[in-house]
Amino acid sequence: MHDSLKDFLKCPHCSGSLSISGAEYANRIIMSGRLACARCKQSFEIVRGIPRFLLGETYAGSFGFQWKRFYDVQIDAISRNKESENTFIEKTGFTSADVKGKVILDAGVGAGRFADLVARWRCKKAVGVDLSEAVETAFNNVGDRDNVDIVQADIFSLPFEKESFDIIYSIGVLHHTPDTKKAFMHLVPFLKKGGVFAIYVYSAYARKRIWIGSEILRKATPKLPVKLIYYLSALAIPVYYLYKFPLFDLWLYPLFPISRHPNWKHRWLETFDWYTPIYQWKHTYAEVYNWFKEAGFTEIEPLDYPVCMRGVKG
């Protein structure tokens, strides 16, 4: 973590101030040390450049595995394409002008693909938070940027000063928590008044077409060893070609849905990502709209990609 992150941090248990001791630096990044709360006396370690506000990954272990294996697949700066940039624009509506100079929270940073983007778009600071060991990958991918910090913490117990961020986005994360709406509500206090909150959650609309098979399979797959699913989901690489035949597409695909991404690595990652998470809720535009309303947002704007929405904190 950079020294400047200290201004944003608070004890996740009592909101007390945190002081740092034993800091060891490498290239202006605090690689190890300890943060201690002046009020409740809890302390939190900084390990390999990341402040750790958790003791374990709890339900998110599959994501830790996922982002360690597929560490570079979606990072535009590594893949030399604009896929994650296009996804970000489509799912948040933000442009580089919206992001420049802003303090941003990436809630559920994963491998850091969007933190990579907003850092290149010259945000003032992007703080990427994740529950899982994905933080190790995110730190390796983007931790050396002057305007990025990675923090291991739970959205339900964030270690930040209230109203710290100009923008909060959470892309493909909240539906993987035990309660999507509660996770949404836990993020709101950390946004400044007038700040913008953008989320993407899985849609309930496509259920009939392809999710019948996957919902049956998913009753078992999150309970299987992640390594087994890792190898089984590699079947998506060749099966994709089988599904190009209309008969297989019509009858087999709804029973054994896979990612149909044209790139084999993305296809493997996305199929794994579909079958492993313990929680995978689906939502409608009406539901999400009501969360924004209930939390006092104005200018609530549904985006075309289901279900993406953003709003301004009132």
Ligand X SMILES: C[S@@+](CC[C@H](N)C(=O)[O-])C[C@H]1O[C@@H](n2cnc3c(N)ncnc32)[C@H](O)[C@@H]1O
Q: Which residues bind ligand X (CB under 6 A)?
A: 60, 63, 67, 74, 108, 110, 113, 129-132, 134, 154-156, 171-173, 176-177, 273
User: What are the two backbone dihedrals, phi and then psi, of residue 173, each rounded to the nearest 5 degrees?
Assistant: -125, -50
Closest distance to ligand X from the beta carbon of 142 (Å)? 12
Complex with ligand X: residue 73 or 103, whichever CB lies closer: 73
Shortest Cβ 245–ligand X spacing (Å):
30
Distance, in Å, from the CA atom of 242 to the CA atom of 232, rounded to the nearest integer, reads: 16
- Closest CB 57 distance from ligand X, rounded Å: 7
Least Å distance, CB 85 to ligand X, is: 12
Strands 103-107 and 125-130: parallel
Tokens describing residue 121: 């778009």
Collect all residues with Cβ–Cβ distance below 8 Å to 61 and sequence separation of at least 6: 132, 133, 226
- Give the span between the Cα atoms of 208 and 192, in whole angstroms: 39
Nearer to ligand X, 11 or 269 (CB): 269
Nearer to ligand X, 178 or 296 (CB): 178
Q: What are phi and psi of 152, to 5 degrees?
A: -95, 110
Nearer to ligand X by Cβ, of 74 and 214: the residue is: 74
Work out how close the CB of 132 gets to ligand X at its nearest, in angstroms, rounded to a whole number: 3
Nearer CB in complex with ligand X: 76/273: 273
**Is the C-alpha dihedral spanning 34, 189, 113, 234 positive or negative?**
positive
State the residue number with the nearest CB to ligand X: 110
